[in-house]
Chain A
Amino acid sequence: MNTTAKRIYYIPYMLWILLFVIAPVALIVYQSFFNLDHQATIQNYVTYLTSSTYLRMTLNSFWYAFLITLFTVLISYPAALFLNQLKHKDFWLLLIILPTWINLLLKAYAFIGIFAQNGSVNQFLGFIGIGPKQILFTDFSFIFVATYIEIPFMILPIYNAIAEIDPALLTASRDLGATNWQTLIRVILPLTRKGITAGVQAVFIPSLSLFMLTRLIGGNRVITLGTAIEEHFLTTMNWGMGSTIGVVLIIMMFISMALTGEHKRKRKEIDTGATKE
């Protein structure tokens, strides 16, 4: 193939990167150095780093994202293990993926109906004599719904990682004396580490900037960085401050990518007398 033809194939990709990745990021960074009066300044960053409100919000975002990720892993890992043992596993996996095809807002509204004062959960609680309770607009409902929404994104990579394990390895582990539990801890878990980190990246990073759910399900009691950005852009019209938080989010994403990314294995010894085959 000649080089001009190759260049033509680059065009859509280059346009995409330029228009939807580089340009927006550049604009956000640019915007973050202006105050409300359109004067170039680093005041926004100073405010962010010295204000306890913003720092608390940052910690909040981290904390909630951490909780959502944790519960997602705790539910998804056993689920993925279980799915892999089923006969028609692809079909059951499809059922789990199916809800991701439905719009996030629709699902959020559905949960409002379920968790509301006169919703089905409270009707049931009333029926067994312990309700109704305030469920909507609590930390619980926020984390519950966020976890529900993120679970497919966690199950999929873990499921794939488990499916890729050579069954002979599990047989070998049993043969060498390991119980089923020891096989899980010492063979299956380490071999699916990549699947878990991929899932954590797919869940933790988007969870940092959740904002729709914080409002609809969390009732604005849960304020994360995502909520703050929305407020600055749409309510206070302080685009500079909003952009600054955006930049902070981008940096945090890179940090969590670096933390969960594949590390080079430490070992490198020199073998001198390697036997030649």
Chain B
Amino acid sequence: MTTPIIEFQHVNKFFGDFQALKDINFQLDQGKFYSLLGPSGSGKTTILRTIAGFNSVTSGTVLFQGKPLKNVPPNKRRVNTIFQNYALFPHLNVFDNVAFGLSIRHVPKDEIQTRVMDALKMVHLQELASRDINELSGGQQQRVAIARAIINEPELLLLDEPLSALDKKLRQDMQYELRELQQRLGITFVFVTHDQEEALAMSDEIFVMDEGAILQNGTPVDIYDEPINHFVADFIGESNIVKGTMVKDYEVEFVGKRFECADAGMRPNEPVEVVLRPEDLDVTTPDKGKLIVQVDSQLFRGDHFEVVAYDADHNEWLIHSTNPVKEDADIGLFFEPEDIHVMRFNEKEADFDARLEQYEGE
């Protein structure tokens, strides 16, 4: 196995009394797209600034390609950052902004010229080289920031919520472009975001963070389908979470009924939480449904109807339906055993992974 490009070993960070990072351990491999996903204050930007060199750690080790980063100043790290508000230099035009990193290193003029134009071409801005920064739209500024960061050929590119200032349509376009750029350049991207859709769409691997700790990491599909706890399930996508009991392996009880499910490896009659994704609930007639609920309201979302309904126990159910339903009508909900995801309380990620391996490998 190759050396990971970045490795955190038992990293803790305190700001005064506030613990921003709690025993962070992870490894990032060369050439992948990683996302740090979490609400504000979860510590994701602190990790980014630690890698860039703008934070020191209170304890623990950060390795860059196997070597400690501790005494390397930010300007000597082969890491570049795309900042949240781009932080473009207002006194320089587009060309000089992009050329900044090269001219700092006294790269010859003609080489700067070709490399800047290549970088601008990569972000489709070659016609705007002589523009002032304040003459550009938000999307164009975003591209200048990307060109300015990649021209230094970093081993690692850090992106600090770079798309949050753009409108939705542009943000989606930029998601494709960033993903494509990452694959073309083959450098490691670490993308910080609080937007789960963004993280799911672009990443090879996602780290879900809350309150300074990494709760779960895995591929977007893993995290979406097998959230480790209530927080992750709720934060990643929309979900229906109800309390239940794991009667025995492959059988779970919730809302007063027993259902066949795909989870195992827990104590008999262990209290658990059950997740059902709104798009996994199919609307059917009451006699065919596994659950019967009464429709409360529905919203048309363009590609689906978002239905809110209540069961007899007054649990709220969110359903994504392709067809409209009648308000106040009783409807049946049908789902497959695999659609039920069972979560234990306070399960650590390592135990969770081990348990999954144990019965999924059978």
Instruction: Answer yes or no: do A and B interact.
Output: yes
CA distance A171 to B89 in the complex (A): 11
| Residues of B contacting A178 in the complex (Cβ-Cβ under 8 angstroms) | 75, 100, 104
Asked if B54 lies at the interface with its beta carbon under 8 angstroms from chain A, I say yes
Contact B74 A271 (CB under 8 A): no
CA distance A168 to B85 in the complex (A): 8
What is the CB-to-nearest-CB distance from A263 to chain B, in angstroms, rounded to a whole number? 13
Residue of A nearest to B84 (CB): A168
Residues in B77-95 with C-beta less than 8 Å from chain A? 79-81, 83-85, 87-91, 93
Interface 0/1 of A146-175, CB less than 8 Å to B: 000000000000000000001011011111
The 5 closest A-B CB pairs, nearest first, are: A172-B87, A168-B87, A176-B101, A190-B91, A273-B127
Residue of B nearest to A265 (CB): B132
Asked if B125 lies at the interface with its beta carbon under 8 angstroms from chain A, I say yes
From B87, B104, B127, contact of A182 by CB (8 A): B104
Asked if A269 lies at the interface with its beta carbon under 8 angstroms from chain B, I say yes
Asked if B124 lies at the interface with its beta carbon under 8 angstroms from chain A, I say yes
What is the CB-to-nearest-CB distance from B117 to chain A, in angstroms, rounded to a whole number? 14
Contact A271 B128 (CB under 8 A): yes
Contact B80 A175 (CB under 8 A): yes
Asked if A235 lies at the interface with its beta carbon under 8 angstroms from chain B, I say no
Interface 0/1 of A248-277, CB less than 8 Å to B: 000000000000000001010101111101
Contact B90 A191 (CB under 8 A): yes
Asked if A12 lies at the interface with its beta carbon under 8 angstroms from chain B, I say no
| Residues of A contacting B138 in the complex (Cβ-Cβ under 8 angstroms) | 277
Contact B87 A171 (CB under 8 A): yes
| Residues of B contacting A273 in the complex (Cβ-Cβ under 8 angstroms) | 127
Residues in B24-78 with C-beta less than 8 Å from chain A? 52-54, 73-76
Would you give 10 A-B contacts (Cβ < 8 Å), ordered by A?
A172-B81, A174-B74, A176-B104, A176-B148, A177-B76, A177-B105, A178-B104, A182-B104, A186-B100, A272-B127
Residue of B nearest to A191 (CB): B91
Asked if A187 lies at the interface with its beta carbon under 8 angstroms from chain B, I say yes
Residues of A within 8 A of B (CB): 166, 168-169, 171-179, 182, 186-187, 190-191, 193, 265, 267, 269, 271-275, 277
| Residues of A contacting B87 in the complex (Cβ-Cβ under 8 angstroms) | 166, 168-169, 171-172
Total contacts A-B at CB 8 Å: 81
From B53, B127, B137, contact of A277 by CB (8 A): B137
| Residues of B contacting A182 in the complex (Cβ-Cβ under 8 angstroms) | 104
Residue of B nearest to A269 (CB): B130
Contact B83 A176 (CB under 8 A): no
From A172, A179, A186, A191, contact of B83 by CB (8 A): A172
Asked if B170 lies at the interface with its beta carbon under 8 angstroms from chain A, I say yes
CA distance A133 to B344 in the complex (A): 87
Residue of A nearest to B143 (CB): A275
Residue of B nearest to A192 (CB): B91
Q: Kindly name the residue among B79, B89, B128 whose own CB sees the greatest number of chain A CB atoms within 10 A.
A: B89
Interface 0/1 of B125-168, CB less than 8 Å to A: 10110111000011110000000110010000000000000000
Residue of A nearest to B124 (CB): A275
Residue of B nearest to A174 (CB): B74
Residue of A nearest to B139 (CB): A277
Contact B139 A271 (CB under 8 A): no
From B79, B104, B170, contact of A186 by CB (8 A): B104
Contact A176 B100 (CB under 8 A): yes
CA distance A182 to B75 in the complex (A): 11
CA distance A191 to B87 in the complex (A): 13
| Residues of A contacting B100 in the complex (Cβ-Cβ under 8 angstroms) | 173, 176, 178, 186
Contact B130 A176 (CB under 8 A): no
| Residues of A contacting B131 in the complex (Cβ-Cβ under 8 angstroms) | 271
From B74, B76, B127, contact of A274 by CB (8 A): B127
| Residues of A contacting B93 in the complex (Cβ-Cβ under 8 angstroms) | 267
Residue of B nearest to A165 (CB): B90
CA distance A277 to B101 in the complex (A): 27
CA distance A190 to B87 in the complex (A): 15
CA distance A99 to B358 in the complex (A): 78
| Residues of A contacting B52 in the complex (Cβ-Cβ under 8 angstroms) | 175
CA distance A267 to B92 in the complex (A): 12
Residue of B nearest to A182 (CB): B104
From A171, A179, A269, contact of B54 by CB (8 A): A171
With A187-B89, A275-B124 given, is the CB distance from A176 to B170 under 8 Å?
Answer: no
